[in-house]
Structure 1
Amino acid sequence: METIASRALAARKFAKMTQKQAEIASGVKQSSISKIERGDTSRSMSVLALARAYRADPNWLDTGDGPAPWDEVQIRPARDNAHEPPGPYRVTRTPPEGPAFAPQTPGTVPLISWELAGEWRGAESPPRPTLAERWIPCIAHHSAGTYALRVRGDSMTAPHGHLKSYPAGSIIFVDPQHTTPDDGERVIAKLDNDTSGEVTFKVYKEDAGRRWLLPLNPAHEPVRAAFTVLGTVIGKWEDED
């Protein structure tokens, strides 16, 4: 198709539009559309508006260069190609269905469930790929067996900006080889007398031989029952809103 007229007519027909419908969709007057299709005008600022209405490549409609609307989708290589594979580059609160990295990729850790965290033995029992929601990078220095958890509930959401806060949905990285935390460190712990095996995320507190677990949210009560530290939090990832 060597002329704008023939391309404009073919594109409109392919879009299954009358000239009147094209006028409504593009804002170009029907008389102008008719002139373009008759070849009474060789170039027009209306071509871009018509290309949008017809879902056609404006360069093709104007010059004939490029894919026609009925061609298969053609992806032109960029001039500066970084050779990056396609994928999501914006972290969202809803994780992708598949793993972000191949299981056990160096420098990554498994994002696991809270139930699994209660049974975790770190490097002694490396996770099967199917046990992790996905594998994500951990830039903090960490030992083998480190894992990630998605925070649930609001007990570790600080009421003001003077403390680190861990809102629901944020991700924490836990090193299970650090089981003797210092006062004030964030830990994952299991209550010794809780037969359900439930795991909790709190601030570790120690004073004069007494140990307890403190929530950052004052609406929740401290935990003063006997507990076992399963790991220390070494980092956090929080999505942008």
Structure 2
Amino acid sequence: MESIATRALAARKFAKMTQKQAEAASGVKQSSISKIERGDVSRSMSVLALARAYRADPHWLDTGDGPAPWDEDQIRQARDKANEPPGPYRVTHIAPLIPSFSPRTPGTVPLISWADAANWDSHEVSQQPRAERWIPCIAHHSLQSYALRVRGDSMTASSGHLKSYPAESIVFVDTSLRKPEDGERIIAKLEDSGEVTFKVYKEDDGRRWLLPLNPKHEPVREAFTVLGTVVGKWEDED
């Protein structure tokens, strides 16, 4: 298909939308959609909005290069992938949840379970549990670092002035940092229950305790062992 007009019309038809339905889904006025499909507009920001509404590759809709909405998934060669050799990947219309790299790719850390975090010390570095995936960490970190997916809302701050860690966000933990300063975020293991928790480290006049950012949760004042210090966070945009 040699023009945006023919591609836009074909993509809308394949999505089984009328121009009015496309307007509601994309926010592009019906009159503008009609102009694009007649060839009156060669390129505009409306094309990107329509591509999203039609679940089409925006590069294909704009230039004709790439898979059309009705094409089967294709195998292509990976390019520009940091520290990764060229290899096949599947072209899909749905982005991955988060980046994933081969184990031990430089600059990446394993995303592990909380159960594995509790037993991290019992393994040699080369024998650590199998990670859910390996993800990039741009914060300075040692080779003994890992990532955890935050659970619960105890570290979700109620104030916009505090850095918040909502459930399902990801924190990067450096286990070589076991002597935190007051106020640093840490991963700790409660000595009585063996539970692993994510809290703010507090110390005053020789007393140590764990403080949640969410005031609905109580501070933890039982004995604990510091497993590592949080050096960074990843959180998807809403």
Shorter-chain TM-score above 0.5? yes
Matches within 5 A, 1:67-78: none
Task: Compare 135-144 and 82-91 and name the one that shifted more.
Answer: 82-91
The secondary structure found in structure 1 opposite 2:126 is coil
In the alignment, what sits opposite 1:104?
104
1:200-220 C-alpha deviation (Å, 9 max, x unpaired): 000000000000000000000
1:40-81 C-alpha deviation (Å, 9 max, x unpaired): xxxxx7xxxxxxxxxxxxxxxxxxxxxxxxxx9798x9xxx9
Residues 101, 133 of structure 2: 8 Å contact kept: yes
Q: CA deviation at 1:198?
A: 1.6
Mapped to 1, the partners of 2:214 and 2:170 lie a distance apart of 18
Q: CA deviation at 1:100?
A: 0.9
Mapped to 1, the partners of 2:161 and 2:92 lie a distance apart of 33
Mapped to 1, the partners of 2:134 and 2:196 lie a distance apart of 21
Mapped to 2, the partners of 1:74 and 1:201 lie a distance apart of 41
Mapped to 2, the partners of 1:100 and 1:165 lie a distance apart of 24
- Structure with greater contact order relative to length (CA < 8 Å, sep ≥ 6): 1
Matches within 5 A, 1:40-55: none
Gaps of 5+ in 2: 1-16, 20-37, 39-70, 82-87
In the alignment, what sits opposite 2:141?
142
Mapped to 2, the partners of 1:113 and 1:232 lie a distance apart of 17
Q: Which amino acid aligns with 2:146?
A: Y
Q: Which amino acid aligns with 1:116?
A: D
Q: Which amino acid aligns with 2:110?
A: P
Is the alpha carbon distance of 1:74 and 1:153 closer, same or farther for their aligned partners in structure 2, counting shifts above 3 Å? closer
| Percent of aligned pairs sharing the same letter | 64
Is the alpha carbon distance of 1:153 and 1:239 closer, same or farther for their aligned partners in structure 2, counting shifts above 3 Å? same
**Aligned counterpart in structure 2 of residue 233 of structure 1, from 213, 220, 230:** 230
In the alignment, what sits opposite 2:198?
201
The secondary structure found in structure 2 opposite 1:222 is coil
Is the alpha carbon distance of 1:157 and 1:74 closer, same or farther for their aligned partners in structure 2, counting shifts above 3 Å? closer
Mapped to 1, the partners of 2:133 and 2:224 lie a distance apart of 29
The secondary structure found in structure 2 opposite 1:116 is helix
Is the alpha carbon distance of 1:114 and 1:208 closer, same or farther for their aligned partners in structure 2, counting shifts above 3 Å? same
In the alignment, what sits opposite 2:117?
117
Is the alpha carbon distance of 1:191 and 1:100 closer, same or farther for their aligned partners in structure 2, counting shifts above 3 Å? same
Aligned length: 165
Matches within 5 A, 1:148-227: 148-194=147-193, 197-227=194-224
Larger Rg: 1
Q: CA deviation at 1:104?
A: 1.2
Q: CA RMSD in A?
A: 3.5
Residues 110, 147 of structure 1: 8 Å contact kept: yes
